[in-house]
Amino acid sequence: MVSITLVLFERTGLLLVVAFMLTRIPTFRHLLDRELGLKTVIYHAAIFGAFGIVGAQAGIVFHDGEIASRFWVTTLERGETLIGSHLVAIVIAGLLGGSYVGLGAGCVTAVYFYFLSSDTVIADMLASVLTGLFAGLTARFFSNERVIAPAKALFIGMFAPIFHVCLLLAFTESPDQTVALVNTVGIPLVITNSVAIAIFTTMIRVALHEQEKETALETERALHITEQALPHLRQGLHRDTATKIARLLYDELKTAAAAVSISNTEHVLAHIGLGNDHHRPGESLKTRLSQKALKEKEMQIAYTPEHIQCQHNGCPLQAGIILPISQSGEIIGLIKLYYRRPQQIRKVDIVRAEGLAKLFSHQLDVVAAEEMKSLLREAEMRNLQAQINPHFLFNTLHLIQVLIRVDTSLARHITVQLGRFIRANLKSTSRLLIQLEQELEHFFAYLEIVKVRFSHRIAIEYDVDDRISDADIPPFTLQPLAENSLQHGLKRAKSGKLSIRVKKEGERIYFEIRDSGDGFPEHLLDRLGKIPLPSQKGNGIGLYNVNQRLVGMFGESAQLHFHNLPSGGCSVSFSIPIRHEHRDATSSSSSPG
């Protein structure tokens, strides 16, 4: 019994070698992912069926209870029985592929036993077919596992040979001879088959674990490289950033690549690694593969020194991968990974390099999109300022026109105030943010003009905290709000009051402009500042522009709030942070206009 067990283990070992080769088949993963179409079922049923035939051929032929030496079994004589490991393949087919694959593999193996024409043909055929079906049905209880655990496979694998020997006893024509055979091979068959099934499932789990681990490591490395390279990519592709990116790639890939080079569409920008004594930045791109990569926008692989086209004798770089990188659909440069020998360029290196080039290109696209978004946002801000400023200019010029006829002194005073404001305006229009102190000076200049224009009708009150200089605000924010109160809240009143309040509240500056006029129409309160409204409905365009700038700069927390006061009139308020993280660098050094 021991000798038979060892022989079966030896021959099962050969079977496991075939099984390991089976796991290398790319479509084998479809079984593990349960992606079973008709084509996949037929294909793998045939594969495992052939695997079962090999297992049968690797078995032992018994003749009258003795082992008969046979190299290739094509037919069996009377009194001969073939005992092999064909059920191993069928059980695995059912456990991995389900009942259809298991049944198909069992049928293929059964056809083989039919042509052997042995005394045990009925038992062998039934064992093959029913084992595949039962293994597939059993697999449903472990459908949540990608690969069944080896311990479970070991337990399930015991039943197939037991079922087989039961069928041998049931369909035998020579009971005494069959009982003797079962007593001889029963236990070795159960042991070798169950262990082989457990070993095979272990092989699959180990192979998948190693593959998934390698994939995870490569993915983590690629993401780490792109994350580290992003700050450099934001600065554009030039010699300094190219050197830093090349150094980053070389440090991460030096176990595989011997050197890293980065170039634009005309010249080499950086070269790190072997060959840096003659591969120098500034050299023009002359190699045929480089030009081909730029033209076709596809990866190129140099497998010979002739492809590298290095004119330096003894250059250690004998092969390389050339990867184009793009921005907004246009090729802007190349990444070259050099190797000492072409044999070092593995499939994983090609896939990793191609993935890095795509990630870099996507990062450059994101950078370009962010820059475009910033430019568009700045253009929108400029447009909003251009829409607001004419309100103040038109009203002031009209006031001067009136005052020239009645009071030249006041006209001269207002003209000076207007000149100061326009001069400050010219300084501020090139900035998205200015110091709050500067904005208040502009605003107070505006209110000086208002005092003259409405001196007999409107009183202006100030409540301004003197601790608010350390804050930034979009230019020309306060003036349109006050103008709205004057033109629409107090226009029809014989007398009224305009109150300006600026206070520090925690880490924010609070602004409020009140008037004692008619207030806003109730049906417009929830729409003001959110959508542009025609001017005859409450200066909605000017308020909308101010609100858009505040929200665009500081977020929703800085939006305008509109309220009608119980005592009459309305209130427009908002708040901004004391320190804004995107503060205009030039505004801090400018002086008030």
**Cβ contacts of 70 within 8 Å, gap of 6 or more:** 61
At 512, the pLDDT band (50, 70, 90 cuts) reads very high
H or E segment and range at residue 106 = helix 86-116
Place of tokens 């450099």: 232
Q: Which two tokens stand for residue 406?
A: 């009645």
Tell me: the pLDDT tens digits for 157-189? 888 889 888 988 888 877 888 888 788 888 888
* Side-chain-facing half-sphere of 530: CA atoms under 13 Å: 8
What burial class does residue 108 get, using C-beta atoms within 10 Å of its C-beta: 0-12 exposed, 13-18 middle, 19+ buried?
Answer: buried
pLDDT above 60 for 588: no
Tell me: the pLDDT tens digits for 356-381? 888 888 888 887 777 777 656 666 65
Query: Phi and psi dihedrals of 336, rounded to 5?
Result: -120, 125
At 581, the pLDDT band (50, 70, 90 cuts) reads very low
The reply to whether 114 falls in a domain is yes
Q: What angle do CA 260, 263, 264 make, to 5 degrees?
A: 160
The reply to whether 366 falls in a domain is no
Per-residue pLDDT, 13: 67
pLDDT above 60 for 410: yes
Domain boundary, last residue among 213, 247, 271? 213
Place of tokens 């029963």: 186
Instruction: State whether 455 and 526 are in the same domain.
Output: yes
CB 360 within 8 Å of CB 229:
yes
CB 152 within 8 Å of CB 142:
yes
Beta bridge partners of 336: 261, 322
HEC readout, 546-568: HHHHHHHHHCHHHCCEEEECCCC
Per-residue pLDDT, 129: 92
The reply to whether 353 falls in a domain is no
> How many independent structural domains does the chain possess?
3
Instruction: State whether 563 and 455 are in the same domain.
Output: yes
Q: Which two tokens stand for residue 362?
A: 């996507």
Instruction: State whether 239 and 330 are in the same domain.
Output: yes
The reply to whether 223 falls in a domain is no
Q: Rounded distance, CA 545 to CA 533, Å?
A: 11
Q: Rounded distance, CA 457 to CA 455, Å?
A: 6
Instruction: State whether 248 and 128 are in the same domain.
Output: no
Q: Which two tokens stand for residue 213?
A: 């681990």
The reply to whether 363 falls in a domain is no
**Domain span including residue 120:** 2-213
First-to-last alpha carbon distance for the chain, in angstroms, is 106
Q: Which two tokens stand for residue 127?
A: 């064992």
Domain boundary, last residue among 345, 360, 395? 345
Most confident region among 4-8, 212-216, 477-481 by mean pLDDT: 477-481
Instruction: State whether 198 and 242 are in the same domain.
Output: no
Domain boundary, last residue among 345, 364, 398? 345
Instruction: State whether 7 and 51 are in the same domain.
Output: yes
- Residue 269 maps to which CATH number? 3.30.450.40
Tell me: the pLDDT tens digits for 117-152? 777 889 889 999 999 899 888 877 776 666 778 888
Q: Rounded distance, CA 31 to CA 21, Å?
A: 15
Q: How many residues does the chain have?
A: 593
Per-residue pLDDT, 364: 83
Instruction: State whether 50 and 151 are in the same domain.
Output: yes
* Side-chain-facing half-sphere of 587: CA atoms under 13 Å: 25
Max Cα-Cα span within the chain: 138
Q: Rounded distance, CA 407 to CA 452, Å?
A: 11
Per-residue pLDDT, 584: 42
The residue type at 161: P
Instruction: State whether 308 and 398 are in the same domain.
Output: no
3-state secondary structure of 331: strand
Place of tokens 């002739």: 306
- Residue 142 maps to which CATH number? 1.10.1760.20
Per-residue pLDDT, 591: 33
Tell me: the pLDDT tens digits for 57-104? 877 777 766 666 565 677 777 777 788 788 888 888 888 888 888 899
Distances (CA, A) of 345 to 256, 342, 392: 8, 6, 70
CB 104 within 8 Å of CB 45:
yes
Distances (CA, A) of 155 to 129, 190, 255, 406, 473: 20, 10, 44, 110, 75
Mean pLDDT for 434-442 is 85
Per-residue pLDDT, 334: 92
At 537, the pLDDT band (50, 70, 90 cuts) reads very low
**Cβ contacts of 443 within 8 Å, gap of 6 or more:** 478, 479, 482
Instruction: State whether 238 and 115 are in the same domain.
Output: no
Q: What is the mean pLDDT of the chain?
A: 79
Query: Phi and psi dihedrals of 512, rounded to 5?
Result: -150, 135
Q: Which two tokens stand for residue 167?
A: 């069928």
pTM value is: 0.47
The reply to whether 457 falls in a domain is yes
Per-residue pLDDT, 574: 95
- Residue 578 maps to which CATH number? 3.30.565.10
Per-residue pLDDT, 84: 79
DSSP type of residue 273: E
Contacts 24+ apart (CB under 8 A), 202-205: 202/150, 203/16, 203/19, 203/20, 203/23, 204/23, 204/32, 204/96, 204/147, 205/147, 205/150
The residue type at 377: R
Mean pLDDT for 397-408 is 83
pLDDT above 50 for 32: yes
At 35, the pLDDT band (50, 70, 90 cuts) reads low
Tell me: the pLDDT tens digits for 270-328? 999 998 888 888 888 878 898 999 989 899 999 888 888 888 888 889 899 999 998 87
The reply to whether 354 falls in a domain is no
**Cβ contacts of 270 within 8 Å, gap of 6 or more:** 239, 242, 243, 245, 246, 247, 261, 262, 281
Instruction: State whether 256 and 139 are in the same domain.
Output: no
HEC readout, 505-554: ECCEEEEEEEECCCCCCHHHCCCCCCCCCCHHHCCHHHHHHHHHHHHHHH
Tell me: the pLDDT tens digits for 208-265? 676 667 666 777 777 778 778 878 877 778 888 889 988 988 888 877 788 999 999 8
At 540, the pLDDT band (50, 70, 90 cuts) reads low
Q: Rounded distance, CA 87 to CA 168, Å?
A: 14
At 414, the pLDDT band (50, 70, 90 cuts) reads confident
Place of tokens 């930045």: 281
Instruction: State whether 274 and 176 are in the same domain.
Output: no
Instruction: State whether 243 and 208 are in the same domain.
Output: no
Distances (CA, A) of 431 to 441, 444, 586: 16, 20, 8
The reply to whether 92 falls in a domain is yes
